[in-house]
């Protein structure tokens, strides 16, 4: 089953110097493939989500790749290639360096809500290049963007406001831990529900 998710460009909510090429590519849509049965109950954690992959299109053979079926066995893949799960940062750099729009390079396949959240989070990385020296702020921008896109697409995805809110609360905890790891104060305001939802009204284009 395939769902087209709207992923309009959203404003930068972190200090401008965090990114060297914010919105270098204007995001549009993300094609999401899932099986008929999928899981909305798994908790969101900071771990790499299992069974979440970006399936590569022909234009993306320059990216590190592994067979899709090894990472998402339930999705019926044969010999399709997927972005290697360790290579999110490589893809962020390489897509930007070659100016290949992410939409032309890949689509998302996952069967869980945490997988969808992290897929959208990575989708934000792919459209906003930064040196990743400000890790907590870089990730915060991607978390906020993923939550806003999920809110916008909640009917297409098939989640309730309560399910979205549970995800948001978990994302706040993950973000706070990153700021603590950098021994700096947590910047929580952009993750407030009204701030996230308001972002969609102030979208850039």
Binding site for Zn ion (CB under 5 A): 139, 142
Q: Which is nearer to Zn ion, 111 or 139 (CB)?
A: 139
Bridge partners (DSSP) of residue 42 are none
Q: Which is nearer to Zn ion, 51 or 77 (CB)?
A: 51
Min dist. Cβ of residue 162 to Zn ion (A): 25
Q: Which is nearer to Zn ion, 105 or 136 (CB)?
A: 136
Min dist. Cβ of residue 88 to Zn ion (A): 7
Q: Which is nearer to Zn ion, 82 or 142 (CB)?
A: 142
Distance CA 83, CA 108 (A): 10
Distance CA 53, CA 33 (A): 10
Backbone angles phi, psi at 37, to 5 degrees: -95, 125
Distance CA 121, CA 180 (A): 20
Q: Which is nearer to Zn ion, 67 or 170 (CB)?
A: 170
Residue 108 CA, chain-centre distance (Å), reads 10
Min dist. Cβ of residue 37 to Zn ion (A): 28
Distance CA 74, CA 11 (A): 36
Min dist. Cβ of residue 125 to Zn ion (A): 5
Distance CA 50, CA 59 (A): 25
Three-class secondary structure of residue 62 per DSSP: coil
Q: Which residues of 116-143 are buried (b: 16+ CB within 10 A; e: fewer)?
A: bbbbbbbbbbbbbbbeeebebbbbbbbb
Q: Which is nearer to Zn ion, 77 or 118 (CB)?
A: 118
Min dist. Cβ of residue 93 to Zn ion (A): 13
């Amino acid at each position: 089953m395939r769902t087209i998710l709207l992923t309009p460009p959203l404003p930068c909510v972190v200090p401008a110097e965090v990114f060297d090429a914010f919105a270098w590519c204007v995001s549009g849509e993300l094609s999401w493939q899932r099986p008929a049965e999928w899981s909305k109950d798994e908790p969101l954690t900071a771990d790499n989500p299992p069974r979440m992959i970006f399936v590569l299109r022909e234009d993306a053979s320059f990216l590190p790749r592994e067979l899709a079926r090894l990472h998402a066995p339930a999705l019926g893949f044969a010999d399709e290639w997927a972005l290697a799960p360790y290579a999110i940062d490589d893809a962020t750099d390489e897509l930007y360096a070659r100016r290949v729009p992410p939409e032309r390079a890949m689509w998302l396949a996952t069967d869980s809500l945490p997988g969808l959240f992290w897929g959208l989070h990575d989708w934000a990385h792919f459209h906003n290049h930064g040196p990743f020296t400000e890790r907590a702020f870089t990730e915060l921008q991607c978390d906020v963007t993923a939550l806003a896109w999920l809110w916008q697409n909640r009917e297409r995805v098939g989640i309730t406001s309560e399910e979205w809110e549970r995800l948001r609360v978990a994302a706040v905890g993950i973000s706070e831990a990153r700021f603590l790891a950098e021994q700096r104060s947590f910047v929580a305001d952009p993750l407030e529900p009204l701030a996230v939802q308001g972002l969609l009204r102030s979208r850039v284009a």
